[in-house]
Amino acid sequence: MALSMFLRAPVCTNQAFTKHIMRLATYTAATNSPLVVRAIPNTVQLKSVTAKAETMPITSSVRSFRTSAVRMSDEKPHDHAKLWVIEKATSALLVPLIPLGLLMPNKIIDSVLAILITAHSFWGLEAIAVDYVRASIFGSVIPKIAIGLVYLLSIATLGGLFYIISHDVGLANTVRQFWAVRSQGQNA
């Protein structure tokens, strides 16, 4: 697989590189004769075919090997490294923002926390849905439903958090109220 991926890389599509590889792949160093792969004869014996065997260079057989379908679209490939950095930055930002939001409750910090918490949970749930609800196991419909549910849950979460921020006491004060109820129940 790695060899076929290497041969499809832009470096390997250079014409000079291809000629050099073809020369190296089709000739052996010891005998200076072409290195060929003999084709397997058909089960039906034909007198005209047995006299002459077909030959094929080894690089042709390697280049024809595909591990997955080649995408023919002009779409730019996704750069998942940038998304990974954004996910880790979001996680790192949550560490100081959660205590800051509890110490200084206001709508701006609550809104930033709501967005970051929703994004963090969305990426986690999406990773779970993509990794464990695969089309090869569940068919083509159920993975789409799972991703749709992740989107729906994330939209509902963000909407609910913004509702608490704008129409209620805010996120930090809601957490403080939950802690106050729990501590009163323990004292009684």
What's the sign of the alpha-carbon dihedral 45, 47, 51, 54? negative
Q: Indicate if the pLDDT at residue 175 is higher than 60.
A: yes
Q: What is the pLDDT of residues 105-123, one digit of tens each?
A: 999 999 999 999 999 999 9
The reply to whether 27 and 52 lie within a common domain is yes
156 domain residue, yes or no: yes
Q: What is the DSSP letter of 11?
A: G
DSSP-derived 3-state class of residue 34:
strand
What's the sign of the alpha-carbon dihedral 34, 40, 46, 47? positive
Say if CB 61 and CB 36 are below 8 A apart: no
Q: What is the pLDDT of residues 30-81, one digit of tens each?
A: 455 555 444 444 444 445 544 444 555 555 545 444 444 555 444 556 677 8
73 domain residue, yes or no: no
Residue 173's pLDDT is what? 92
Domain span at residue 21? 2-63
Mean pLDDT across 74-89:
79
Cα of first residue to Cα of last residue in the chain, in angstroms, is 67
Residue 95's pLDDT is what? 96
Q: Say whether 163 counts as a known binding-site residue.
A: no
71 domain residue, yes or no: no
Domain total in the chain: 2
The reply to whether 88 and 172 lie within a common domain is yes
Token pair listed for 42: 């058909």
106 domain residue, yes or no: yes
Q: Say whether 27 counts as a known binding-site residue.
A: no
The reply to whether 97 and 48 lie within a common domain is no
The reply to whether 173 and 108 lie within a common domain is yes
Token pair listed for 65: 């090997």
Residue 114's pLDDT is what? 97
pTM given for the model: 0.56
The reply to whether 91 and 119 lie within a common domain is yes
Of 55-59, 107-111, 138-142, 179-183, the least confident = 55-59
The reply to whether 50 and 85 lie within a common domain is no
